[in-house]
């Protein structure tokens, strides 16, 4: 017994929205709101669309103050930092980028930013259901087999993290017996990353690649996230928010919207799910 479908699939239209449909939905919601019931909404307007589809269209496209178009360097950095910290919690990441939708950010990460950070990939030749799998994430070394019990997302974040702390081979630690299984990995994560400092403190550490206020932080092998994304050459001026007063954490200066306490209270930071 499966879950009941949210709508009568035989009688709903699928595919791209027409301008007429957009106009209907937009004008109705602007006048009446959603009424707290997306399922009923398309019937009220006379749209042959699933309520879920209406909701998605509104949230991702029709809603006021939506920003489309290219992402700024500052947004790139925020996305990268948060992805490392919390993984693919796109809605949480989107909450830090006013005007951006989770869908937008997810697409942007999957199609462009990931390549910027982790290197170009050529996996479109793979069947759809094999895209985004771990092996295609560009470690560049086919001989290194990742452990199979770690999610692709987690591995990707680990890889990014390793790049940021300057390890040329992101999987080199698999040579260490104690790290060969996920439990050990969890131990590593828990002991070495999560509990040694508050998440905010961790993020203020160079190893998270955050462009700290002391931009000379890149001692020895540390790699600045900005360098990773944009390269060291032609280094543009860093966003002001990342070079402000040393007393202001990068988090506060970058996000401003939420205090560290609020973030911690919301449980939105930490090195999740590795």
Give the shortest CB-145-to-DNA separation in angstroms. Answer: 20
CA distances in angstroms from 38 to 30, 75, 210, 236, listed in the order given? 14, 31, 40, 45
Give the shortest CB-270-to-DNA separation in angstroms. Answer: 14
Q: What angle do CA 40, 41, 46 make, to 5 degrees?
A: 105
Give the shortest CB-200-to-DNA separation in angstroms. Answer: 20
Residue ranges of the alpha helices (H) in 61-198? 73-86, 90-95, 102-108, 114-118, 152-164, 182-187
Among 26, 29, 45, 55, binds DNA (CB under 7 A): 55
CA distances in angstroms from 132 to 114, 142, 146, 160, listed in the order given? 11, 16, 14, 15
Structure-block tokens of residue 155? 């591995």
Among 111, 195, 220, 234, binds DNA (CB under 7 A): 111
Question: Should residue 68 be labelled a site residue for DNA when binding is judged by CB under 7 A?
Answer: yes
**Comparison of 36 and 177: residue with beta carbon closer to DNA:** 36
Q: Is 220 left (phi over 0), alpha (psi -120 to 50) or beta?
A: left
Among 26, 29, 144, 153, binds DNA (CB under 7 A): 153
Among 25, 77, 84, 90, binds DNA (CB under 7 A): 90
Site for DNA in 159-198 (CB under 7 A): none
* Count of CA atoms in the C-beta half-sphere (13 A) of 44: 17
Question: Should residue 51 be labelled a site residue for DNA when binding is judged by CB under 7 A?
Answer: yes
**Closest listed residue to residue 82, CA positions, set 111, 109, 115:** 109
Site for DNA in 7-46 (CB under 7 A): 9, 13-17, 34, 36-39
**Comparison of 129 and 195: residue with beta carbon closer to DNA:** 129
Contact footprint for DNA (CB under 7 A): 3-4, 6, 9, 13-17, 34, 36-39, 49-53, 55-57, 60-61, 68, 88-92, 102-104, 106-108, 110-112, 120, 122, 124-125, 128-129, 131-132, 153
């Amino acid at each position: 017994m499966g879950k009941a479908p949210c709508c009568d699939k035989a009688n709903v239209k699928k595919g791209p929205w027409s301008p007429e449909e957009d106009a209907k939905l937009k004008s109705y919601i602007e006048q009446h709101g959603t009424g707290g019931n997306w399922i009923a909404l398309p019937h009220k307007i006379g749209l042959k669309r699933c309520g879920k589809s209406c909701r998605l269209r509104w949230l991702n496209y029709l809603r006021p103050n939506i920003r489309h178009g290219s992402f700024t360097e500052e947004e790139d950095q925020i996305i990268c930092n948060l992805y490392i910290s919390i993984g693919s919690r796109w809605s949480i990441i989107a909450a830090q980028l006013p005007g951006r939708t989770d869908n937008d950010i997810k697409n942007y990460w999957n199609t462009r930013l990931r390549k910027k950070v982790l290197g170009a990939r050529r996996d479109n030749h793979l069947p759809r259901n094999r895209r985004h799998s771990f092996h295609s994430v560009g470690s560049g070394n086919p001989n290194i087999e990742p452990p199979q019990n770690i999610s692709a997302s987690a591995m990707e974040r680990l890889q990014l993290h390793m790049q940021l702390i300057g390890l040329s081979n992101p999987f080199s630690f698999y040579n260490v017996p104690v790290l060969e299984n996920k439990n050990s990995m969890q131990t590593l994560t828990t002991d070495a990353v999560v509990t040694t400092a508050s998440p905010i403190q961790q993020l203020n550490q160079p190893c998270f690649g955050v462009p700290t206020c002391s931009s000379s932080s890149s001692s020895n092998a540390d790699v600045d996230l900005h360098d990773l994304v944009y390269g060291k050459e032609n280094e543009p001026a860093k966003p002001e928010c990342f070079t402000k007063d040393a007393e202001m954490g990068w988090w506060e200066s970058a996000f401003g919207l939420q205090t560290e306490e609020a973030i911690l209270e919301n449980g939105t930071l930490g090195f999740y799910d590795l």
